[in-house]
Amino acid sequence: MEYGDSTRSVNAVGIHGVPGSPVAPVPVPASAYHLSGDESEPLDTYGRSSNPTWRQLESALAELEGATSALVFGSGMGAISAVLRVLSRPHTTLVVPADGYYQVRRYAVEYLAPLGVTVVEAGAAQMCEAAAHADVVFAETPVNPTLDVVDLHQLATICRGRGATLVVDNTAATPLGLQPLSLGADLVVASATKALSGHSDLLAGYVAGCHPELMAAIERDRLLAGPVLGAFEAWLALRSLGSAGLRIDRQCRNAQAVALMLRDHPAVRSVRYPGLPGDPSHALAVEQMRRFGGLVAVELADAPAVHRLIERSALLVAATSFGGIHTCVDRRARWGDPVDEGFARISLGIEDTDDIVSDIERALT
């Protein structure tokens, strides 16, 4: 029987245990483990190689992504940079999103290009075209922050046709909203800092996939480069995963309701949400997504209009990052994203839907 996503989130945290053992996960903050006298290698030897709390989180993430294995890292960028390092050689042509998470572009341009990697930046609409000449394609969907959806099935077909590796950043959608591996991606990477852990209290990242050699090479990079996750962060992330279904359902419901309200609001120039009928990405989103996510992109007149919205609202938190329990607003031009001055990304929290809709509606008027 196929369980629903909330049941799978709860089960992923672990439902089996010997009588007397705690139902909740327990963190194991060890740097070193007892070795046996005969020098046979136990599963855990040293904290940079492995950790029991990581393993529990990794099997939960692999289950949710539909992967055979997952590897956790100290941040999303820790996971992404490890994958890009492993896949990049001199003369590799690497496609990265021109409109996606800006630090991925920065990493490719500042660290990989000087090593001889050809870095090609492509917007969501140009991804397939760029993939036709690539060795590695790093795609993000929905693109953060503009929320264009990339056609993963088409992109995977192009990549497979030329033997290119397709990596998909699943941070915005989460595995509860999108399953890139089932659409043909070779690897999923994500920041678990956002909606998956969902409480704005930790940084974490992961890689999930089904190719044993590729996953082993990424694990080797984690060991040698050392961007590891702390045991307490792994434990907090695991603890949060159990409520991911509940939280993400509410965030998606709030995003849908706020997007609908914004569409008809006179102070709004434009609004993007993949779940909004009439959105340029809606048809594709319906085809490939299970949920449309908690992010809404809105364009107001100018930067002061975004500042006024935050000032007048009683519920909005001005913060970068997203996916937490609070509804947050971030004016992305301040970070250098290629968007207009009045562009704001709203990350919906888990407040009551009517409260957050009327708060934003009032604050805009």
Ligand X SMILES: *Cc1c(COP(=O)(O)O)cnc(C)c1O
Residue 161 Cβ, how far from ligand X at the closest point, in Å? 26
Furthest C-alpha separation in the chain = 75
**Residue at 136: amino acid letter:** V
User: How many residues bind to ligand X according to rule CB under 6 A?
Assistant: 15
Residue 127 Cβ, how far from ligand X at the closest point, in Å? 15
Binding to ligand X, residues 74-93 (CB under 6 A): 75-77, 80
Quick check: 205 binds ligand X (CB under 6 A)? yes
Quick check: 299 binds ligand X (CB under 6 A)? no
Quick check: 313 binds ligand X (CB under 6 A)? no
Is 194 a residue of the active site? yes
Binding to ligand X, residues 221-250 (CB under 6 A): none
Give the H/E segment covering residue 185: none
69-73: strand order across its sheet: 69-73, 205-209, 187-191, 165-169, 136-140, 93-97, 118-122
Is 101 a residue of the active site? yes
CA distance 152 to 138: 11
Which region, judged by CB under 6 A, interacts with ligand X, from 31-39, 169-177, 212-220, 273-281? Answer: 169-177
Q: Which of 132, 180, 210 is nearest to 290 (CA)?
A: 180
Binding to ligand X, residues 105-164 (CB under 6 A): 140, 144
Q: What is the dihedral of CA 282, 65, 25, 20, to 10 degrees?
A: 120
Strand pairing partners for 8? none
Among 54, 101, 107, 343, binds ligand X (CB under 6 A): 101
Catalytic residue chosen out of the listed positions 99, 101, 135, 359: 101
Residue 189 Cβ, how far from ligand X at the closest point, in Å? 8
Residue 57 Cβ, how far from ligand X at the closest point, in Å? 14
Retrieve residue 196's tokens: 């998956």
Catalytic residue chosen out of the listed positions 5, 44, 151, 169: 169
- CB of 139 or CB of 363, closer to ligand X: 139
Among 53, 81, 88, 193, binds ligand X (CB under 6 A): 193
Q: How far is CA 168 from the centre of its chain?
A: 9
Instruction: Give the number of other CB atoms < 10 A from CB of residue 38.
Output: 5
CA distance 64 to 248: 14
Catalytic residue chosen out of the listed positions 48, 105, 263, 312: 48
Is 89 a residue of the active site? no
CA distance 242 to 139: 28
CA distance 76 to 206: 7
- Where along the sequence are the contacts to ligand X (CB under 6 A)? 75-77, 80, 101, 140, 144, 169, 171-172, 191, 193-194, 203, 205
**Residues involved in catalysis:** 48, 101, 169, 194
